[in-house]
Amino acid sequence: MFVFAYGVGAYVVFLLTFLYAIGFVGNWVVSLTIDGAIGGVDTSGGGVAAWIGNVFLLALFALQHSVMARPVFKREWTRIVPPAAERSTYVLVSSLTLMLVFARWKPIPTVLFDLDANALGFLLEILSYVGWAIVLVSTFQIDHFELFGLKQVYLHARGEELPRPTFHTPFLYRYVRHPIYAGFLLAFWSTPRMTLGHLLFAVMTTAYILVAIRLEENDLSNMHWEYRSYRTRVPMLWPLKLR
């Protein structure tokens, strides 16, 4: 029951972090945002220290997120934590690291474009929220509760084991191999006001996503032989193959 309670707590932390991330990237509702103020741009920073600090924060998250997801790390880590709590621990540490990014982020206020006052700006804002919706829907299509550790701790509390993973391609996964990452990219790049700080965030997260996809696909190809043919048939992020 302790493992179950731990898993539920980790999931709650993730959910709050996910909701905060929407406000952080979109400069909406939350107190600390990517541009430093709700509905406006913080003009108090943007020096070299802000650039270095922000790059360090994003690199820290990328390193933690990738290392803890690797099979070799998981095998060693489950010698310390119960296997049923491994995924919950990954979710919790990732959420806390992302919270650190939000808390210590320094706005870089130079505005590259501002479309707040016209229809294109409104469309970009809507597209950003569509991206977040794609992320959430995609997680449910591949078992949201297993992805974030709840299924593991629930089965553990019942004295049951997690079934072996099987390869399947639900709706969105028939069009792109990584709809979760595609949703994140849409959410990060679709903004009515692009500052240098927002651009830095979008560029670095895009670079990380491309690296993470390569690592994940190597793991998936080793785990599921079907993934290799799936990889040749279905585009990575864009639903149309470029010729």
Is residue 118 scored above 90 in pLDDT? no
Q: At how many degrees (to 10) do helices 86-104 and 2-26 cross?
A: 30
Q: Summarize the confidence of residues 225-236 as an average pLDDT.
A: 92
Q: Summarize the confidence of residues 62-88 as an average pLDDT.
A: 93
Specify the higher pLDDT residue, 20 or 42. 20
CA–CA gap between residue 77 and residue 159 (Å, rounded): 21
pLDDT of residue 94: 97
Would you place residue 14 in the very low, low, confident or very high pLDDT band (cuts 50, 70, 90)? very high
- Entry pTM: 0.92
Is residue 39 scored above 60 in pLDDT? no
CA–CA gap between residue 212 and residue 214 (Å, rounded): 5
pLDDT of residue 44: 55
Q: Summarize the confidence of residues 93-115 as an average pLDDT.
A: 95
Specify the higher pLDDT residue, 243 or 96. 96
Residue spans of the domains in the chain: they are 2-233
Is residue 242 scored above 80 in pLDDT? no
pLDDT of residue 46: 67
pLDDT of residue 142: 93
**Which positions ≥6 away from 49 have C-beta within 8 Å?**
106
User: Distance of alpha carbon 18 from its chain centroid, rounded?
Assistant: 8
Q: What CA–CA distances, in Å, run from 35 to 7, 26, 84, 111, 127?
A: 33, 9, 39, 10, 19
pLDDT tens figures, 176-214:
999 999 999 999 999 999 999 999 999 999 999 999 999
Long-range contacts of 142-145 (CB under 8 A, 24+ apart): 142/170, 142/173
pLDDT of residue 243: 46
- High-pLDDT (> 90) share of the chain, %: 81
